[in-house]
Structure 1
Amino acid sequence: MPSTAIDSQIHGCMFSTDEMREILSDKAWVQKWLDTEAALAAAQAELGVIPKEKTDIINQYAKAELIDIPSIGEYYKSSITIVPLLKAFKAILPENAGEFVHWGATSQDIVDTGIVLLERDAYEVILRDMKLCQEYCLDLAKKYRNTIMSGRTHVVHALPITFGYKAAIWADELG
């Protein structure tokens, strides 16, 4: 059952896109947290803090599709921050590799880094779409450069301008 307009099957298309919902999905959150844990383990193995063979296992299993994502929600009922993810991740790691996950990091380090990685992916989509909107506005500016319209200031007509000029302002703002 949807709890926000974004999740709504009726209204969701007005507030987000399928692409953005996928970027910010539970699976994507889990993957970014696993990516962070895997990168941490790799750096620690490089420094000799944890065994390289355990890092290889951690990296091999750091895939959201291997994790029981609903169990993370269940663990959250009695836990905090990244602990639910760690329980679900450690449950699938063989050869006691789970003992070497999350060494030296705070839960907030993992949560925050995962969020930044999600934001980076979302930003790429937003930037792409903003550039596309800017191109459309520039096309409108060229097409309607001589089309007269009322200039406006607080609902009162101002001196006439062209629609092309107005579209050029939009393009500038999008830039």
Structure 2
Amino acid sequence: MISRYARKEMADIWSEENKFKRWLDVEISALEGWSNIGVIPKDAVDNIKKRAKIDVMRISEIEKTTNHDMIAFVEQVSETVGEDGRYIHYGLTSSDVLDTSLALLLRESGNAILKDIEALTKTLKEKAFALKDVVMMGRTHGVHAEPITLGLKFAGWYFEFMRNYDRMQKAIGEISVGKLSGAVGTFSNIDPRVEEYVCEKLALEQEKFSTQIISRDRHCYFLGVLAVIAA
């Protein structure tokens, strides 16, 4: 994001620090899932949860060598937890973490937008009533027509943003899905129970079908709703 144009709330959500925090949320949730089915020792998971730290500068430094952001992230976090770091990213492919964490970031952003729409609709409704007797020219085909009131204009905007609120809610639901199904979506290196646990913990739906990635029509829908709201 360009800092001078970004709102602080959105800038914080999409910061490198927060992005890596969400990656770590997914990684630790996966470790807990593995521990629940007896694959990774609980003591190791507890140690990782206690000691894991994120260092954005160190990740950037490692990435200069690895040319891979996920490997750099895993190496950096592993440095902070010691020997148990060998369990981090166990059975996962990069997109398991990237796409599931992206769902968390988009949901967080969407909820911030919902709060703004809610505040805006309240103001629009107040203005519609306050200006209901302020007469202005109506327009049709680009020219003056019968008179209307300014309150009527605000009423139209109010109902439009009520629809936008509903659209945003649906878009958040559409994007709130996770996947931990491996490199081609076949669970060849991961137990499906891990995905089930992670998605339940993070309050995400399990993607019904995935390849290496979550289907991008979900992201397109979310962005399309943003475009409608902005327009």
> CA–CA distance in 2 between the matches of 1:114 and 1:172?
33
Partner of 2:96: 109
Gap change, CA 1:154 and 1:24, over 3 Å in 2:
farther
| Helix, strand or coil at the partner of 1:28 | helix
Q: Distance in 1 between matches of 2:141 and 2:38?
A: 66
- Pick one of 94, 100, 106 that aligns with 2:87: 100
**Partner residue, 1:90:** 78
* 1:151-166 pair list within 5 angstroms: 151-153=138-140, 155-166=142-153
Is 1:122 the equivalent of 2:112? no
CA distance in 2, matches of 1:16, 1:73: 23
Match of residue 45, structure 1, among 35, 47, 56: 35
Identity %: 33
CA distance, structure 1, for counterparts of residue 54 and residue 18 of structure 2: 12
3-state secondary structure, aligned to 1:164: helix
**Shift, 1:134, TM fit:** 0.5
Letter in 2 for 1:158: A
- Report the counterpart of residue 61 of structure 1 in structure 2: 51
Shift of 1:72: 1.6
Please, which runs of 5 or more residues in structure 1 have no aligned partner? none
Matched, 1:29 2:16: no
In structure 1, the residue corresponding to 2:111 is in which secondary structure?
helix
Alpha-carbon RMSD across the aligned residues, in angstroms, is 1.6
Tell me the CA shift for residue 101 of structure 1: 0.8
Q: Per-residue deviation at 1:81?
A: 4.1
Q: Tell me if structure 1 keeps the 8 A contact 2:28–2:49.
A: yes
Match of 1:149 among 117, 136, 145: 136
For residue 48 of structure 1, report the CA deviation from its aligned partner: 0.9
Residue 54 of structure 1: SS of its match in structure 2? helix
TM-score, normalised to structure 1's length?
0.84
Q: What residue is the counterpart of 1:136 in the other structure?
A: 123
| Alpha-carbon contact 1:37-1:110 (below 8 Å) kept | yes
- Of stretches 115-124 and 138-147 in structure 1, the one that deviates more from structure 2 is 115-124
Look up the SS of the partner of 2:147 in the other structure.
strand
Residue identity in the other structure for 2:31: A
Q: Deviations over 1:29-73 (max 9, x none)?
A: 0100000101000111001111111111122234xxx32211222
Q: In 2, Cα distance between the equivalents of 1:148 and 1:25?
A: 47
1:82 is paired with a residue whose SS is helix
SS in 2 for 1:104: coil
The SS at the match of 1:92 is: helix
CA pair 134-88 structure 1, distance change in 2 beyond 3 A = same
